[in-house]
């Protein structure tokens, strides 16, 4: 209970900028929860996926491979499905894979720029709160006779906003770095999946052309 009371007192001493910093911290937490759930739904064991998909492609069971990808709720499965459907329609496989990969990667990187913004914005807000607090501390109205600690005490309270801003920025930076690594891993898996689909569909196409030439 005493800790909560001290936290509330420090919050009020930080000035009105503290409300903006709390809003930034809640914004970061909301993005973290949303992205964590999103990545969890799109993530899968890439080795298990490749071990299931590659034998179907080797045997040229493209319909079964497309059905397997459709039943797998993962980012790499969606990209592979786009390429397989394009192959069945006789469309450009590379274009379909590139479009699906670009769209998927854009959705994976969604809101990461917002975290970068908070990393920059939070320290600036903290510095603004500190400057405002120091202006009030050095005001002639705060320098009272017989109270030499009036100014230094006010400066100490003003630094609360800076400390809070740095804390929020640190939290946002850690979350941004973690999600960036996850996105990079997913993008790598997407590229490998696209290359796998292209290699086996091109083999199938080359086989068709050879049969037509022989005929």
Q: CA 165, CA 105: separation in Å to the nearest integer?
A: 31
Can you give the pTM of this predicted structure?
0.81
Instruction: Yes or no: say if 13 and 157 are a contact pair by the CB < 8 Å rule.
Output: yes
Domain residue limits, the chain: 2-112+121-206
pLDDT score at 213:
41
What pLDDT sits at residue 16?
Answer: 85
Q: 87-96, 172-181, 204-213: which has the minimum mean pLDDT?
A: 204-213
The residue with greater pLDDT, 135 or 19, is 19
Residue range 42-57, pLDDT digits in tens: 888 888 888 899 899 8
- For helices 75-89 and 150-214, the axis angle rounded to 10 degrees is 30
Label residue 99 by pLDDT band (50, 70, 90): very high
Q: Which among 83-92, 145-154, 175-184 has the top mean pLDDT?
A: 175-184
**Dihedral Cα 91, 58, 203, 66, nearest 10 deg:** 0
* CA–CA gap between residue 9 and residue 25 (Å, rounded): 19
CA 190 to chain centre: 16
pLDDT score at 27: 96
Residue of higher predicted confidence among 78 and 158:
78
Q: Give the confidence band of 123 by pLDDT, cuts at 50, 70, 90.
A: very high
pLDDT of 207 strictly over 70: no
User: Residues with Cβ < 8 Å from 96, sequence gap 6 or more?
Assistant: 82, 83, 85, 86
Q: For the segment 139-162, what is each residue's pLDDT rounded down to a tens digit?
A: 655 555 545 555 555 566 678 889
Is the distance from CB of 114 to CB of 100 less than 8 angstroms? no
> Average pLDDT over the chain, rounded to whole?
84
Q: How far is CA 74 from the centre of its chain?
A: 16
In this predicted structure, what is the pLDDT of residue 24?
95
Distances (CA, A) of 28 to 34, 42, 112: 10, 21, 10
Share of the chain above pLDDT 70, in %: 84
């Amino acid at each position: 209970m005493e800790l909560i009371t001290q936290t509330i007192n420090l919050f009020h001493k930080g000035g009105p900028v503290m409300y903006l910093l709390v809003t930034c911290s809640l914004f970061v937490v909301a993005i973290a929860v949303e992205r964590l759930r999103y990545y969890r739904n799109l993530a899968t064991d890439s080795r298990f996926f490749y071990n299931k998909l590659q034998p179907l492609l080797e045997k040229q069971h493209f319909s079964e491979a497309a059905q397997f990808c459709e039943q797998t709720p993962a980012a790499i499965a969606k990209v592979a499905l786009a390429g397989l459907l394009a192959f069945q329609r006789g469309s450009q496989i590379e274009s379909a894979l590139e479009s699906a990969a670009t769209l998927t990667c854009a959705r994976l990187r969604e809101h990461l720029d917002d975290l970068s913004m908070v990393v920059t914005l939070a320290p600036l807000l903290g510095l603004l709160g500190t400057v405002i607090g120091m202006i009030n501390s050095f005001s002639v109205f705060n320098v009272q006779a017989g109270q030499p600690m009036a100014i230094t005490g006010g400066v100490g309270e003003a630094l609360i906003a800076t400390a809070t801003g740095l804390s929020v920025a640190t939290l946002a930076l850690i979350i941004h770095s973690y999600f960036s690594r996850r996105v990079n891993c997913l993008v790598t898996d997407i590229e490998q999946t696209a290359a796998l689909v292209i290699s086996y569909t091109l083999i199938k196409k080359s086989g068709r052309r050879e049969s037509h030439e022989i005929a």
